[in-house]
Structure 1
Amino acid sequence: MFRSLSLALALVLTSPPTAAPENATGRVEDLVLPIEDVIGAIESLDGTESEIQEGTQVTVALTSDVLFALDEWQLTAKARQRLGEVAAKVDTESAGGVVKVQGHTDDQGADAYNLTLSRRRAQAVEQAMRGLLSSAGVTLQAQGYGESRPKMPNVVDGKPVAENRAKNRRVEIVYNVRQ
């Protein structure tokens, strides 16, 4: 299930602490979360990518900071490499059909500007993915949402949260897996 032991270890080490089970003996084994608690939400060690699977639907989120320069929608060289990895994953796992490319921004700037930026970014990723996917039967569909669907609150207790804003600036690639 995990692509590497280091990813599994990172998930255990970065997961929030939980109460010890009633039968805990104080051993290291008591600190390890059951695998069910870490499957479903996988985030890379550098925070640039996350993957969530709900049923047969997989959402791969790439932060815009990796894909684009500030206020730009042209892909960086690093973005093309990342998108190549995501395309290979879609080729391997996808059931075909519609693959959605969804652009999102944080709350900085005007709503109309953010909506346009998110659409252009989704379209740039869609165009790149077209050239990278080898699967027949996949239709790409780009949509921009601007700041309307944040993953995290942009502002907490009246103060902007830079880490949350960074996670909200993303492009998500959503597809269904084969059963």
Structure 2
Amino acid sequence: MTMAAAVMLAGCGSAQVRGDFPDPARAYPAGGTYVSLDGLRQYAPGMNKQQLYALLGTPHFGEGMWGVREWNYLFNFRRTVGAPPIQCQFQIHFDGKGVAVGQSWKPATCAALLEPAPVAAAPAPPPAAPPPPPLRISADALFAFDSAELSGKGRARLDEVVASLGARMGAVSLTVVGFTDRIGSDAYNLRLSQRRANAVRDYLVARGVPAGSVRAEGQGSAQPLVECGKAPHAELVRCLAPNRRVEIAGIGG
């Protein structure tokens, strides 16, 4: 601030009574000034008059620099480009040392303008992609009925699985799960499903998949895909075929 400006402010007007706002028609310049909300938010009690003068400019109602306890401003704001202006009177209260100790607004609703600018909420991260479904292979395509020895057709099918891994073969983590139908006892079916899962795991390892990357487990007749009623044995075997399967999780794509 120049010395001339300080002298001009020092010689102007007298203090207003706290909270007693002057007539807006007396503002100079007429109609007040437009002010940046971001700049106005820098105001806080504890600032001195020199700091406030640099931030907000000359008071609009002839108050001086020294010995006065209030400064009055007439501010205009636009919330959005082209919107009608909002006019607010802003009064700063000082202590005897010229340090701001508070402020008043007219209308009082204008006080909300000093609240921090709303922070746009960060967009929610997209939901994680669900893991790809396991590769499901009919047990009848891998083994003879009631057998855990891979057939020639079964080995060829697993060769296709290995080829599909390509360069990812050393980085996959596979889980081989065997399932049976409900024909036979639960204990027998659990053992059979585990032996089949082991056979598939062992073949994949023999074809180059790291042994520590393949886990095998048997689920017996759990999680059936189809339900079949009473029927002659041959017909029941055909009906329950979808339940006899091997699933390989972690193949991806």
Fold-level similarity (TM above 0.5):
yes
- Residue 148 of structure 1: aligned partner: 222
CA gap 1:162/1:93 in 2 versus in 1, 3 angstroms: farther
* CA shift digits 1:25-59 (9 cap, x unpaired): xxxxxxxxxxxxxxxxxxxxxxxxxxxxx823231
**How many angstroms apart in 2 are the aligned matches of 1:137 and 1:57?**
22
- Residue 46 of structure 1: aligned partner: none
**How many angstroms apart in 2 are the aligned matches of 1:94 and 1:56?**
18
Partner SS state of residue 58, structure 1: coil
Mapped contact 1:64–1:171 kept (Cα < 8 A): yes
Q: Which residue, out of 156, 159, 182, partners 1:107?
A: 182
Shift of 1:98: 2.1
**How many angstroms apart in 1 are the aligned matches of 2:157 and 2:190?**
24
Q: Which residue, out of 114, 126, 131, partners 1:56?
A: 131
5+ residue gaps, structure 1, are 1-53
Shift of 1:146: 0.2
Q: Which has the higher contact order (CA 8 A, sep 6+)?
A: 1
CA gap 1:144/1:81 in 2 versus in 1, 3 angstroms: same
CA gap 1:70/1:162 in 2 versus in 1, 3 angstroms: closer
5+ residue gaps, structure 2, are 1-128
CA gap 1:119/1:137 in 2 versus in 1, 3 angstroms: closer
Q: TM-score when scaled to structure 2? A: 0.43
- Residue 240 of structure 2: aligned partner: 165
Q: Which runs of 4+ in 1 moved over 4 A?
A: 92-95, 158-164
CA gap 1:93/1:152 in 2 versus in 1, 3 angstroms: farther
CA gap 1:58/1:89 in 2 versus in 1, 3 angstroms: farther
Mapped contact 2:198–2:216 kept (Cα < 8 A): yes
- Residue 96 in structure 1 maps to residue 171 in structure 2: yes
Letter in 2 for 1:73: A
- Residue 72 of structure 1: aligned partner: 147
CA gap 1:150/1:90 in 2 versus in 1, 3 angstroms: farther
**How many angstroms apart in 1 are the aligned matches of 2:169 and 2:163?**
10
**How many angstroms apart in 2 are the aligned matches of 1:93 and 1:166?**
32
Higher strand share: 1
- Residue 81 in structure 1 maps to residue 156 in structure 2: yes
**How many angstroms apart in 2 are the aligned matches of 1:138 and 1:96?**
11
**How many angstroms apart in 2 are the aligned matches of 1:103 and 1:137?**
18
- Residue 175 of structure 1: aligned partner: 250
Partner SS state of residue 205, structure 2: helix
- Residue 41 of structure 2: aligned partner: none
Question: May I ask how many residue pairs the two structures share in their alignment?
Answer: 122
Shift of 1:162: 4.6
Shift of 1:138: 6.8
Letter in 1 for 2:187: A
**How many angstroms apart in 1 are the aligned matches of 2:161 and 2:133?**
11
**How many angstroms apart in 2 are the aligned matches of 1:95 and 1:57?**
19
**How many angstroms apart in 2 are the aligned matches of 1:56 and 1:150?**
21
CA gap 1:163/1:70 in 2 versus in 1, 3 angstroms: closer
- Cα-Cα RMSD: 2.7
* CA shift digits 1:131-160 (9 cap, x unpaired): 2245x697000000000111222x24x557
**How many angstroms apart in 2 are the aligned matches of 1:91 and 1:165?**
34
**How many angstroms apart in 2 are the aligned matches of 1:145 and 1:92?**
30
Query: Identity of counterpart residues, as a percentage?
Result: 34
